[in-house]
Amino acid sequence: MFAQNADSHNFAKEGRGRMFAHILRLCSEWATNIPYDFKTEYMRTRLNELLRLCAVDKTYQQKTTELQSTLRSSLNKLDRYEKAVANLQKALSENTNLPEQSDSMTGLFVLCNDAKTVAQQLTHIEMERFSMVGVDEIVQSLASDPLSEIGRHSKNKEGTISSISFYIEWFNRLSAFAAIEVLKQTKKRNRVAVFEFMIDIAKECCEIGNFNSMMAIVAGLSLPAVSRLKKTWCRVEKAKLEILQHQLDPSGNFLSYRATIKAAQWRADSARGNQQKIVIPFFVLLLKDLFLIYHGHPRILPNAHLNFMAFNQLAEQLRDVIQWKSTVCTFEKNPQVLQYLLITSVSGEKDSMLMSFECEPPESSSERDQHKKLKGGK
């Protein structure tokens, strides 16, 4: 662009304005979508040098000032988020207490027995984590990692916290949380009540458009430690759970889930309020879809040209991601519920199975053998 306008005859006012508009748009797209690139003083200095070329009149001066202000705000937000993540991970690592079982009702149901309120708090947590996953981090992971390794590293190549990894960890924690809330109850009637409560929360998440939390809860209620509780299951209204489990059905490449999220997208496109615009996809499946798009087509054609069709297909998917994660969650916050969801201790598979056997003793010989091995390994 500078070479084209090096000649004073070509450097007319119209051409100048057009060139500076292109530079400003490029910088704006870069700074808005990949703010991590500007965490170093060197990169911010180079950006400011480029923007100064555009500040030729008051209009462009104002636009460059606004862009610099937006970038500072984004970097401050990223810094606060990284500190919050570090503090949360420290609190979780220090909380070594195992969940305790009780004869009386205990856990989330006692703190807040309104499924809609809990679903709204889960949506706050989901949107905070989802909004911090940058499209640049997604593309870098797609390009450098096999599908099985995406999200397994807590730090990315720049040494900063991997938002993808942190988000996937949240899904796994929520699954374990849903199971533990049931297993805490030693009395059958309390387990049934909490089980149905968790189903109602998942249903409310689905209504909101929070499919990641819905999938995590249903996955948690389907874990072996919970699914073996036959005496509890016979008292549960199974129809509710079966409807939600249908969303997890992988047949037809998750056909049921894809139809549901497509309906949520249509609702969001025509909605006026932010609460109706929320779409939080099943994140692990989203990564798988993007991985298949990225690697499913050659990016370089036999004639050495770029395969713009493949890049366009990926860009369309990422455009949806940008739109979804930019939605503002306006539900009223409940600090007590949020804190409980975030820092309450959960247990691993072994301790969950031991809690399960405390709820309902082993019946089959294989369960008795399993129980014996688990107790022997404590």
Q: Quick: pLDDT tens for 244-301.
A: 888 888 888 899 999 999 999 999 988 888 888 999 999 999 999 999 999 888 888 8
The helix/strand/coil state of 45 is helix
Query: Buried b / exposed e across 253-285, counting CB within 10 Å, b at 16+?
Result: ebebbbebbeebbeebeeeeeebebbbbbbbbb
Query: Domains along the chain?
Result: 1-94 (no CATH), 99-376 (1.10.840.10)
Q: Which residues pair with 102 in a beta bridge?
A: 185
pLDDT-derived band of residue 367, with 50, 70 and 90 as boundaries?
A: very high
In this structure, of 70-74, 141-145, 184-188, the range with the lowest mean pLDDT score is 141-145
Q: How many Å apart are CA 269 and CA 296, to the nearest integer? A: 29
Side chain identity, residue 106: T
Whole-number percent of the chain with pLDDT over 90: 53
Q: Decide if pLDDT at 50 tops 80.
A: yes
| Residues whose CB falls within 8 Å of the CB of residue 219, separated by 6 or more in sequence, listed in order | 175, 178, 248
| Residues whose CB falls within 8 Å of the CB of residue 178, separated by 6 or more in sequence, listed in order | 198, 216, 217, 219, 220, 221
pLDDT-derived band of residue 155, with 50, 70 and 90 as boundaries?
A: low
Q: How many Å apart are CA 214 and CA 131, to the nearest integer? A: 18
Q: What is the CA radius of gyration of the chain?
A: 25
Whole-number percent of the chain with pLDDT over 70: 92
Q: Which residues pair with 155 in a beta bridge?
A: 161
**Burial of 117 by CB count in 10 Å (0-12 exposed, 13-18 middle, 19+ buried)?**
middle
* Per-residue pLDDT, 22: 84
155 φ/ψ angles, rounded to the nearest 5 degrees: -120, 145
Residues 59-83, mean pLDDT to the nearest whole number:
88
Structure tokens, 339: 């804190």
Cβ proximity of 318 and 138 under 8 Å: yes
In this structure, of 5-9, 102-106, 355-359, 366-370, the range with the lowest mean pLDDT score is 5-9
The C-alpha angle with vertex 330 and arms to 327 and 332, in degrees rounded to 5, equals 150
In this structure, of 82-91, 199-208, 225-234, the range with the lowest mean pLDDT score is 82-91
Structure tokens, 283: 């994140």
Please indicate whether residue 174 or residue 12 has the higher confidence score (pLDDT).
174
Residues 354-367, mean pLDDT to the nearest whole number:
94
Q: Decide if pLDDT at 160 tops 80.
A: no
* Per-residue pLDDT, 226: 95
Q: Which residues pair with 300 in a beta bridge?
A: 306
pLDDT-derived band of residue 154, with 50, 70 and 90 as boundaries?
A: low
* Per-residue pLDDT, 144: 84
CA end-to-end span of the chain, whole Å? Answer: 69
Residues 157-165, mean pLDDT to the nearest whole number:
72
Please indicate whether residue 69 or residue 151 has the higher confidence score (pLDDT).
69
Q: How many Å apart are CA 273 and CA 286, to the nearest integer? A: 25
Structure tokens, 294: 């990225």
Structure tokens, 345: 């201790």
Question: Which single residue is written with the structure tokens 């979508």?
Answer: 33
* Per-residue pLDDT, 2: 53
In this structure, of 116-125, 139-148, 227-236, 304-313, the range with the lowest mean pLDDT score is 139-148
Question: Which single residue is written with the structure tokens 């099985």?
Answer: 148
Q: What is the mean pLDDT of the chain?
A: 88
How far is C-alpha 86 from the chain's CA centre? Answer: 17
| Residues whose CB falls within 8 Å of the CB of residue 285, separated by 6 or more in sequence, listed in order | 254, 257
pTM value > 0.75: yes
Q: How many Å apart are CA 341 and CA 166, to the nearest integer? A: 15
* Per-residue pLDDT, 376: 79
Q: Which of 130, 135, 105 is nearest to 33 (CA)?
A: 135
Q: Decide if pLDDT at 1 tops 70.
A: no
pLDDT-derived band of residue 130, with 50, 70 and 90 as boundaries?
A: very high
